[in-house]
Chains A and B, each alone.
Chain A
């Protein structure tokens, strides 16, 4: 047990170093691809966290979009461009909303949880689409970011954002890994397996799910802020249900056993999406669908479960 835990942290650290080196040598578009994967990876982590407790959220886009919009609006309306302030604002907004909504959502399981989360994200979508001051369906551009007074331009700006994204994602992944290997983390698993037993053991399922929901929302919010900064543009599609569906897809494909699992899945999806426009514009969703069916049928634990037995033996 202990060895595998140490492995994850080590892998994450090596991964961070590799990604940073990669960022300095890779071409522009490849670096951007990795950066976007890292940002959305955080949202997938949020979905995965809920999945571990047996809850499928078809509306994680709510917090992804909220984080992105709060960051964008802070820059657009109030001229706040400091990345750390934006991160703080985006996360705080998601925390606040999720704490409130959590009181409603903890009463739901299964498809009702999926439905309710979907409805909530669609409410945000519906609001944003009609909000002319925020550019309606087109969204708006996010001003260039600054870093504690440091205001780089051009290539330096891109590299700085890349480094920042990698480091933040690394930190979140490490913290989340610690959480998952804590008592609370394991209790999520227990809820999925048998809720009643958890209650009889003296833990409150509702407060646990509430916690999971809030943590997932905060992480997704950070992902949203990073996306807004990276892309430099936000639009309501971030909250649309198909966006949330993609997060569910990646979480399911990768498996929920380890925080590292979804990063590979996210990167593969981004890569597939990039190439799909060129080589398979009309079949790439079909490829996703077939892959998902195969995973559900033959690999319930996701791609991560391949070789999992061998790893535990080591």
Chain B
């Protein structure tokens, strides 16, 4: 019973974490048809930015400690704006209209560049920003002790999901965006500024990736190579759910989270393997993921 509960809670925490990654990735793919390998680097940059800001905030010592949490979204927005704009305006816009596979290779080269950019800016020593993690204390659920911060993570993740759902379905801009997703040329003909939508989407997607890193930073030591592992996890999530589908990313991260937590508690040897196992299994039976609609063939 306790084990089941542990699996559920651990799974939810893990799912919340990977969802943040998958969300940005699936958003960018849905709108721009770019499977962004550089998303892992944005995650790493977000983590670095957040440790720097948190370190700076608490070093001064004169601000209220609770407001330190504001540094997390701040870091994400900063990285999204700076790195997102640099990547989209500086590189991607010259590549639009190319094959999806070429775009994959383009983002792979951006990934390589950003990996070293992080090393140049922050060096190779590990960074720590434990303050936000410890500040909230722990909570006990049926003999299981969890840091409250982990639940904050779930809350943040849910907020992001609601925000994106609301943005897409309830606002004018969101509806225009859906039009762009479905038919780029037709929306252009109707006077939608598709290029602007691309830029904005990429920045928002990048910010979600960076947020994933920013909220993780207090839990881990931030070192080079942080994003390399995350990128394939995010791949797994969006591929399981269906590329470009927000609901898919949710289901995908829930599956990945629970499966991984179950593996950790029941059979630790397969921890890494199950995630990719599930991914391969889904791909084998539903090549376009669980939630992607059928592709319309256009002439």
Which of A's residues lie within 8 Å of B, judged by CB?
A: 54, 56, 58, 104, 107-108, 110-112, 114-116, 118-120, 122-123, 125-127, 129-131, 241-242, 245, 248-249, 252, 282-286, 288-290, 292-293, 296-297
Contacts and interface: CB of A to CB of B under 8 A. Distances in A.
A293 B235 contact: no
22 contacts: A54-B101, A56-B104, A108-B287, A110-B101, A111-B243, A114-B101, A116-B280, A118-B235, A119-B235, A119-B239, A126-B276, A248-B105, A248-B108, A249-B108, A252-B105, A282-B119, A284-B116, A286-B120, A288-B112, A289-B112, A293-B110, A297-B94
B150 to A, nearest CB: 24
Contacts of A54: 101
Interface in B168-211: none
Given A116-B280, A123-B280, A130 B101 contact: no
Nearest to B275: A126
Chain A interface main SS type: helix
B102 interface: yes
A125 B270 CA distance: 11
B249 to A, nearest CB: 15
Given A56-B104, A114-B104, A115-B283, A290 B113 contact: yes
B99 interface: yes
Contact of B111 (A111, A118, A289, A297): A289
A296 B232 contact: no
B35 to A, nearest CB: 5
A90 to B, nearest CB: 22
Contacts of B283: 104, 108, 112, 115-116, 119
A285 B273 contact: no
B90 to A, nearest CB: 10
Contact of A286 (B113, B232, B276): B113
Given A119-B276, A120-B280, A289-B110, A56 B105 contact: yes
Interface residues of B, number: 46
B107 to A, nearest CB: 10
Given A122-B232, A130-B269, A282-B116, A296 B101 contact: no
A285 B113 contact: yes
A242 B74 CA distance: 31
A115 B235 contact: yes
Given A118-B235, A285-B113, A111 B104 contact: yes
Interface in B253-278: 268-277
Contacts of B110: 289, 293
B276 A115 contact: no
Contacts of A104: 283-284
